[in-house]
Amino acid sequence: MERNVSRRTLLASAAGVAAGALPATAAAGRGQLGCMTMLYRAHPLDTALHGIKKAGFQYVVPARAHADKEVFAPAMSSAARAELKAKLKDHGLTANMSLGGFGPELGKSGGLEKYIAELDLCADFGIPVIVGGGPWHFQKWPNLPKRDRDWQKEVAAFYNDLEKAVRHAGSVKVTITLKPHTGITARAKECMEVVKRLPSEWLKICWDAGNVSFYEGIYPDPDLPDLAPHVKAVCIKDHQGGRAEGNFPVPGKGQIDHDMMFRTLFGAGFSGPMGVEKVEGRDNVMKMPAAQIDERVAQAYSFLTSAIERASS
């Protein structure tokens, strides 16, 4: 038997054991399946909300800007916030997470203050989870990492600010989740070190199997069963090809085993927010007509709801 096949078999067995070891209610958790409006960021927000709702989604992840207009950011006025809340309600959509953790750079000047502002924005909208990453590990992607001496200084500064951000997160009841994005969150085993270093109910992991495939060339991640209890959000993207290959097809059409991923996560009791992040394949999403995005978002919803149903049974 080929090595990669046997590895998948072992992971599938681990997922099944995890599910069987938990009460049926935990094993049957299905999470909150949503879609990111950033797929439509070249178009007005209303276009995104309409397409996402039409596809069948009940949850949404708002992007910072649409059609070059800021629509979800800490600088929003009270009136703009009220307008967006009403718009989400009118479309029958609930915002379930934010990618606001990727704007501010913890460890850099002003980064902590900006991060806190993003946490406050989430709290205002009732969004329970913010997603971010650690410091970027490369001088030049994909083949030149930063010098370790410099990198370790960045990591230390990042953790210093992250600890303060986590304290604030607890005060506003918003969970910070870091996702695989090279460096300290490259894959599951590195993510485990993050939650061990700063243990807190307000600091967890957002899983992203597509990123582990794209940035690390690993699929499936053999350590996900160990990390799964710490996963509180999921960014959903498929990937096709080797490391650094920029091809992110509609979920279900690439090399990510979503059924195995969901079985592993649900088996560990996962029931949190999930957001579809990419459907463009090799296309430029900024040039895709809204109707084409609508079609792919609908395909993603159809595949993912079926995969979640299979993993929950």
Provide mean pLDDT across the span 231-246. Answer: 99
**With 80 as the cut, is the pLDDT of residue 8 above it?**
no
Contact criterion met (CB below 8 Å) for 64 and 103: yes
Q: Is the pTM of this model over 0.85?
A: yes
Mean of per-residue pLDDT scores for the chain: 93
Assigned token pair, 120: 């406050």
With b for 16 or more beta-carbon neighbours within 10 A and e for fewer, the 272-304 pattern comes to: bbbbbbbbbbeeebeebebeebbbbbbbbbebb
Weakest mean pLDDT among 4-18, 36-50, 138-152, 294-308:
4-18
Phi, psi of 262 (to 5 degrees): -65, -40
Contact criterion met (CB below 8 Å) for 272 and 31: yes
**With 70 as the cut, is the pLDDT of residue 19 above it?**
no
**With 60 as the cut, is the pLDDT of residue 224 above it?**
yes
Provide mean pLDDT across the span 107-127. Answer: 99
**With 80 as the cut, is the pLDDT of residue 4 above it?**
no
**With 80 as the cut, is the pLDDT of residue 226 above it?**
yes
> Directed axis angle between helix 290-312 and helix 45-55, to 10°?
40
Alpha helix (H) residue ranges in the chain: 3-20, 24-27, 45-55, 78-90, 111-125, 148-172, 188-197, 209-216, 224-227, 258-267, 290-312
What is the rounded CA–CA span in Å between residue 13 and residue 27?
A: 15
Task: Tell me what percent of the residues of the chain surpass a pLDDT of 70.
Answer: 91
| DSSP one-letter code for 288 | S
Provide mean pLDDT across the span 72-87. Answer: 99
Each residue's pLDDT tens digit, 83-110: 999 999 999 999 999 999 999 999 999 9
| Domain 3-312 CATH (choose: 3.10.310.30, 2.60.120.650, 3.20.20.150, 3.40.50.1370) | 3.20.20.150
Phi, psi of 221 (to 5 degrees): -75, 120
The residues with which 36 forms a beta bridge, in sequence order, are: 61
**With 50 as the cut, is the pLDDT of residue 220 above it?**
yes
Contacts with 163 (C-beta within 8 Å, 6 or more apart), sequence order: 198
Assigned token pair, 17: 């054991």
**With 80 as the cut, is the pLDDT of residue 7 above it?**
no
Q: Which pLDDT score, from 0 to 100, does residue 236 have?
A: 99
Each residue's pLDDT tens digit, 278-311: 999 999 999 999 999 999 999 999 999 999 999 9
**With 90 as the cut, is the pLDDT of residue 49 above it?**
yes
Q: Which pLDDT score, from 0 to 100, does residue 14 have?
A: 47
Phi, psi of 161 (to 5 degrees): -75, -35
**With 90 as the cut, is the pLDDT of residue 9 above it?**
no
